[in-house]
């Protein structure tokens, strides 16, 4: 079966890791690596793999001989750059790994099927890819009035793009906690941990829920464990650090300010602790925050390609 041709814009850490994953894919063909630094390691590696390269940005991509045959473009640049890149590439399917959020938020384990036909899909953020599946799992069995996530990543795995987009990270992730995760309100925090040796990505999900009947502990644990398995199918280093914690909300705990005005007081609070270890394809294993983004992006591209290839086959 013919593979779907793809290009990667951004020859930094994320773009290079994407390329290595695409090169292993049975459904995708790595056609071009696009950068702006002619001396970048990403472009050099692409050339060694026989991949067409350009250091002239999107204009250089459009000038490549087979540019019209490229169906899917990964954008691993920045939120501002993605806006310009999307405008310059009409007709291409865009998978946006920046917080630009032009297209719908996509978390593969939660809502990929709903957006396979979207022209531009947004991969939210690293923290969003790690934690929104958990919020969604809790939402499947209880009313989530409030969900808060804390993503802790190694400082070494936070490059210039990540640091420049901190505000977009919090806004985009908070929004997706609601629109994809199903919480009524959401909040996101990211911590850049300077510890040496660098620590693996850790994520905490805290949710306030309303349970209608009895103790929701077992139903929540089962739902979360099933979701963790679904994410781990495309991010093998994704795992629970300990058993999901569910407990009644103490009567004296002031939680109403976290909820929508007039919302019922929650009955239980849920805490979920996660760890994301990277596959170490190009990035170090501690950079799970970057690996989960590239793994999720490739998962989306492969499913788009499979659908397109099946349509051609029919």
210 is in an annotated binding site: no
Q: Where in the chain is the domain with CATH 3.30.360.10?
A: 126-285
* CATH superfamily of the domain spanning 4-123+292-313: NAD(P)-binding Rossmann-like Domain (3.40.50.720)
Tens of pLDDT, residues 192-222: 999 999 999 999 999 999 987 789 999 999 9
Q: What is residue 33's three-state secondary structure?
A: strand
Contact 164, 78 (CB under 8 A): yes
> Which positions are annotated as active-site residues?
126
Over residues 272-297, the mean pLDDT reads 97
Task: Specify the pLDDT at position 163.
Answer: 85
DSSP category for residue 159: -
Average pLDDT of every residue of the chain: 95
Residue 314: the pLDDT is 42
Could you read off the pLDDT of 29-47 as tens digits, one per residue? 999 999 999 999 999 999 9
Architecture of domain 126-285: 2-Layer Sandwich (3.30)
Instruction: Answer yes or no: are the C-beta atoms of 162 and 12 closer than 8 Å.
Output: no
Residue 14 labelled as part of a binding site: yes
Chain region(s) in the chain for CATH 3.40.50.720: 4-123+292-313
pLDDT digits (tens, 9 = 90+) for 231-259: 999 999 999 999 999 999 999 999 999 99
Task: Tell me whether residue 11 is annotated as binding.
Answer: yes
Helix H or strand E segment including 116: none
CA distance 53 to 72: 16
CA–CA separation, 212 and 155 (whole Å): 42
- 298: how many CB neighbours lie within 10 A of its CB? 24
Distance (Å, whole) CA 100 – CA 9 = 15
Does 284 have pLDDT greater than 50?
yes
CA–CA dist 209, 70 (Å, integer): 45
Annotated binding-site residue? 152: no
* Residue 59 CB-half CA count within 13 A: 3
Neighbours of 219 (CB within 10 A): 17
289 is in an annotated binding site: yes
Give me the mean pLDDT over the 113-122 stretch. Answer: 96
Rounded to a whole number of angstroms, the CA Rg of the chain reads 20
Split at pLDDT 50, 70, 90, the class of 281 is: very high
H/E stretch holding 42 reads: helix 41-48
Q: Is 165 labeled as ligand-binding?
A: yes
Asked whether residue 312 carries a pLDDT value surpassing 60, the answer given is: no
Q: Tens of pLDDT along 130-175?
A: 999 999 999 999 999 999 999 999 999 987 777 887 888 899 999 9
Q: Which two tokens stand for residue 285?
A: 């294993």
State yes or no: 162 annotated in a binding site.
yes
Confidence of residue 1 (pLDDT cuts 50, 70, 90): low
Average pLDDT over residues 103-113: 97
Whether the ω angle into residue 197 lies within 30 degrees of 0, i.e. cis, is yes
């Amino acid at each position: 079966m013919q593979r779907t041709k793809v290009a990667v814009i951004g020859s930094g850490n994320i773009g290079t890791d994407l390329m290595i994953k695409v090169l292993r894919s049975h459904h995708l063909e790595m056609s071009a690596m696009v950068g702006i630094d002619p001396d970048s390691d990403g472009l050099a590696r692409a050339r060694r793999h026989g991949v067409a390269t350009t250091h002239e940005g999107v204009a250089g991509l459009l000038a490549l001989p087979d540019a019209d045959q490229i169906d899917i473009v990964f954008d691993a640049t920045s939120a501002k750059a993605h806006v310009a890149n999307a405008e310059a590439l009409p007709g291409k399917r865009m998978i946006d790994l920046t917080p630009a959020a032009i297209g719908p938020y996509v978390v593969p384990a939660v809502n990929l099927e709903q957006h396979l036909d979207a022209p531009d899909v947004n991969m939210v953020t690293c923290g969003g890819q790690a934690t929104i599946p958990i919020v969604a799992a809790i939402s499947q069995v209880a009313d989530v009035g409030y969900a808060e996530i804390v993503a802790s990543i190694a400082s070494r795995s936070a490059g210039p793009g990540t640091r420049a987009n901190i505000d977009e990270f919090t806004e985009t992730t908070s929004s997706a906690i609601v629109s994809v995760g199903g919480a009524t309100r959401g909040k996101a925090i990211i911590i850049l941990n300077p510890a040496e040796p660098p620590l693996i990505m850790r994520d905490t999900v805290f949710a306030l829920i309303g349970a209608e009947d009895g103790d929701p502990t077992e139903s929540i644990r089962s739902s979360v464990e099933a979701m963790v398995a679904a994410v781990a199918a495309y991010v093998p280093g994704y795992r629970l650090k300990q058993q999901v914690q569910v407990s009644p909300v103490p009567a004296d705990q002031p939680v109403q300010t976290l909820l929508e005005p007039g919302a019922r007081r929650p009955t239980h609070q849920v805490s979920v602790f996660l760890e994301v270890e990277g596959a170490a394809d190009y990035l170090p294993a501690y950079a799970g925050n970057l690996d989960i983004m590239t793994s999720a992006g490739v998962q989306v591209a492969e499913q788009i390609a499979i659908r397109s290839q099946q349509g051609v086959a029919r």
